Amino acid sequence: MATDLNARSLLESLVGQQIATLTGRPNTVLGLTDTNVTVGTERSPHGEPVPIDAVQVGIDLLLETGEVEVHPRFLGHRSSFVGAVLLTLPGAVAHRTSPPRIELTDPVTAYRANEAGHINEWWTDDPQQRFWLEITDRPDIGIDLHCPQRDATGNRTPGYSLIWCVQVDDIVFHYNKNEHAITGWSRAAGQVTEAQTVWLSHHAATRRRLLQGRAQPGWWLDLDGPFPLDPPLTLTQIRASAPQLRAVLDAIRSEHAGSLYFPFSFYGGTEPRPQQPYLNKLPAEFVALFPTLAAAIERASPETEDQSTRTAPTLGTTYREARFSSLSSERQPFTVDPALVERGIKGHSDMQNALAEVLRQAGIEPRSRLPREPNFDIAWEREGIVFVAEVKSITDNNEEEQLRLGLGQVLRYRQRLQALGHDHVVAVLAPERAPRDPLWTSLCHELQVALLAGNEIERAPQL
């Protein structure tokens, strides 16, 4: 396969930069001549020449075959430097085999391999193993998954890197350290994004040393939820099942080598205690032991429109206060659901909670969605009519985009609730403020959508 990727152009872009070989040794691209690139190393800081053609051979071989061994028989006597250059290509991943290899893959996979490191994915061939356990004391538990990229010593750790293994529609249970119980669950609704996070380690010694959280590079994953467990699964109940949990762990160990990332250790060999890592792999066998977890899995299944649902529909569940997270506005997405991201923003949660309070003051119960229902922000029912609302935080720069998104969402919510058996449904689009463009009012009127701006929410009970 021919390539137009030119070694000289690539090397010119690296002049003045330090790049690392697969063994971690620093190489610095000092400059180029007509035929050579000058490379500074620890032994030769002033530089030695490497033929540019040798780098071109490596590039062509990697693009032609998809992978190349970093060895002199393929890349010449300066194979280590050529390999370091190849690793700067988008999608290049190092495999530290013997001899080491470089594979060309997609940029997301390359980022994960280079930044998150190796994970022993013992569950890969078992579709039943789709459960995870977040262990945290964060006040906004269940809004999303987020964690640093490195531990307090700057090293990779599975408790953070496991976030890359969570697949869309996997179930994440939430262990609240303050309540000593698994209190809720969510459904993974996206893929990992990158942004700053403010974090204080769970490790007691690290907490005593740092005293407060510090801003650092982080990873974020959107969740659909959280949905509360009723009743929660307490640590006392988990400990009462210690023999069964030990049997589950021993059975998995007998089938799979390496780290299992099991969320509980056994103090004194018998007493289950939650692990310190933030994210852990929760085996399906663990979930099956506890009816409250198993019931949540049934609710997490795709909705079915059976006759009983259509003849006696129930709208939502008790309203859950909207909470915002310390989400960075500079998230670098691989894939992002903007609706879920928005729910972590303070303006959105303030508007939604204010609307709920207006309804309560009027004697109307605000409702949050059930897992089988569409992903609305808030709904309520009055005189046999269901009102379903999508709240939108807007600015002068994003008003058009946000309102178009919100309008599409609320029309879909109306349709889905009607399919679930609610005969009379009113769609409500609730932006933080009135749109600047008055045509939005007429458009919503044409589509039979109630437009309820933030300064007008007092009229929500009269819609």
- Name the least confident of 37-41, 75-79, 200-204, 259-263: 200-204
Q: Does one domain contain both 137 and 77?
A: no
pLDDT above 90 as % of the chain: 51
Residue 329 pLDDT > 90, yes or no? Answer: no
**What pLDDT, on a 0 to 100 scale, did the predictor assign at position 424?**
93
Task: Specify the CATH number for the domain of residue 267.
Answer: 3.10.590
Strands 171-176, 181-188: pairing kind:
antiparallel
| pLDDT tens digit sequence for 366-410 | 998 887 788 888 999 999 999 999 999 888 888 898 899 899 999
Give strand pairing partners of 425. 386
- Classify residue 98: in a domain, yes or no: yes
The secondary structure of residue 61, as a DSSP letter, is H
CA 33 to chain CA centroid, nearest Å: 46
- Classify residue 126: in a domain, yes or no: no
**Sign of the C-alpha dihedral, residues 132, 138, 141, 146?**
negative
**What pLDDT, on a 0 to 100 scale, did the predictor assign at position 342?**
53
Choose among 81, 79, 111, 70: nearest CA to 93: 111
Last residue of a domain, one of 90, 105, 120: 105
Count CB-CB contacts under 10 A for residue 102: 24
Q: Does one domain contain both 316 and 410?
A: yes
**What pLDDT, on a 0 to 100 scale, did the predictor assign at position 2?**
41
Q: Does one domain contain both 206 and 262?
A: yes
Of 306 and 407, more confident: 407
Last residue of a domain, one of 275, 301, 327: 301
Contact 457, 355 (CB under 8 A): yes
Q: Count how many residues are written for the chain.
A: 463
List the end-to-end C-alpha distance of the chain, in Å, as a whole number: 64
- Classify residue 170: in a domain, yes or no: yes
Strands 36-40, 67-69: pairing kind:
unpaired
pLDDT band at 242 (very low <50, low <70, confident <90, very high): very high
CA angle 343, 345, 346 (to 5 degrees): 120
- Classify residue 341: in a domain, yes or no: yes
Count CB-CB contacts under 10 A for residue 90: 10
- The predicted model gives 230-258 an average pLDDT of 94
Distance of CA 272 to CAs 202, 257, 308, Å?
18, 22, 41
Q: Does one domain contain both 434 and 398?
A: yes
| pLDDT tens digit sequence for 132-191 | 999 999 888 888 899 999 887 888 899 999 999 999 889 999 999 999 999 999 989 878
pTM, two decimal places: 0.65
**Sign of the C-alpha dihedral, residues 402, 407, 409, 413?**
positive
pLDDT band at 39 (very low <50, low <70, confident <90, very high): very high
Task: Specify the CATH number for the domain of residue 403.
Answer: 3.40.1350.10
**What pLDDT, on a 0 to 100 scale, did the predictor assign at position 65?**
87
Instruction: Compute the chain's Rg from CA coordinates.
Output: 27
Q: Does one domain contain both 40 and 138?
A: no
**Sign of the C-alpha dihedral, residues 195, 198, 202, 204?**
positive
Q: Does one domain contain both 14 and 142?
A: no
- Classify residue 49: in a domain, yes or no: yes
At residue 386, the 3 state secondary structure works out as strand
Last residue of a domain, one of 248, 279, 301: 301
Q: Taking every pair of C-alpha atoms in the chain, what is the biggest distance, in angstroms?
A: 83
- Classify residue 418: in a domain, yes or no: yes
Residue 259 pLDDT > 60, yes or no? Answer: yes
**What pLDDT, on a 0 to 100 scale, did the predictor assign at position 389?**
95
- The predicted model gives 125-130 an average pLDDT of 92
Q: Does one domain contain both 148 and 21?
A: no
**What pLDDT, on a 0 to 100 scale, did the predictor assign at position 306?**
46
Distance of CA 384 to CAs 248, 370, 448, Å?
49, 19, 18
Of 260 and 203, more confident: 260
- Rounded distance, CA 371 to CA 374, Å? 8
**What pLDDT, on a 0 to 100 scale, did the predictor assign at position 200?**
65
**Residue range of the domain that includes 437:** 310-462
Choose among 403, 379, 378, 392: nearest CA to 345: 392
Q: Does one domain contain both 424 and 318?
A: yes
Residue 261 pLDDT > 70, yes or no? Answer: yes
- Rounded distance, CA 150 to CA 244, Å? 34
- The predicted model gives 340-354 an average pLDDT of 72
- Name the least confident of 18-22, 137-141, 239-243, 406-410: 137-141
**What pLDDT, on a 0 to 100 scale, did the predictor assign at position 297?**
77
**What pLDDT, on a 0 to 100 scale, did the predictor assign at position 98?**
85
**What pLDDT, on a 0 to 100 scale, did the predictor assign at position 210?**
54
- Classify residue 79: in a domain, yes or no: yes
Of 434 and 269, more confident: 434
Q: Does one domain contain both 359 and 250?
A: no
Q: Does one domain contain both 357 and 445?
A: yes
Residue 327 pLDDT > 80, yes or no? Answer: no
| pLDDT tens digit sequence for 68-101 | 999 999 999 999 999 999 999 888 888 888 889 9
Six-digit token string for 223: 């969740």
pLDDT band at 4 (very low <50, low <70, confident <90, very high): low
Contact 393, 345 (CB under 8 A): yes
Choose among 127, 121, 224, 228: nearest CA to 174: 228
| pLDDT tens digit sequence for 311-324 | 557 898 888 887 66
**What pLDDT, on a 0 to 100 scale, did the predictor assign at position 451?**
95
Of 304 and 174, more confident: 174
E-assigned strand segments in 149-291: 171-176, 181-188, 193-199, 214-234, 264-267, 271-274, 279-281
The total of structural domains in the chain comes to 3
Contact 352, 338 (CB under 8 A): no
Six-digit token string for 384: 């046999």
- The predicted model gives 91-120 an average pLDDT of 82
**What pLDDT, on a 0 to 100 scale, did the predictor assign at position 209?**
53
- The predicted model gives 291-295 an average pLDDT of 89
- Classify residue 180: in a domain, yes or no: yes
Give strand pairing partners of 20. 26
| pLDDT tens digit sequence for 418-451 | 988 898 999 999 998 999 999 999 999 999 999 9
- The predicted model gives 226-249 an average pLDDT of 93
- The predicted model gives 59-69 an average pLDDT of 89
Residue 461: asked if its preceding bond is cis (omega within 30°), the reply is no
**What pLDDT, on a 0 to 100 scale, did the predictor assign at position 213?**
60
Element (H, E) at 296: helix 291-300
Q: Does one domain contain both 323 and 289?
A: no
Q: Does one domain contain both 297 and 345?
A: no
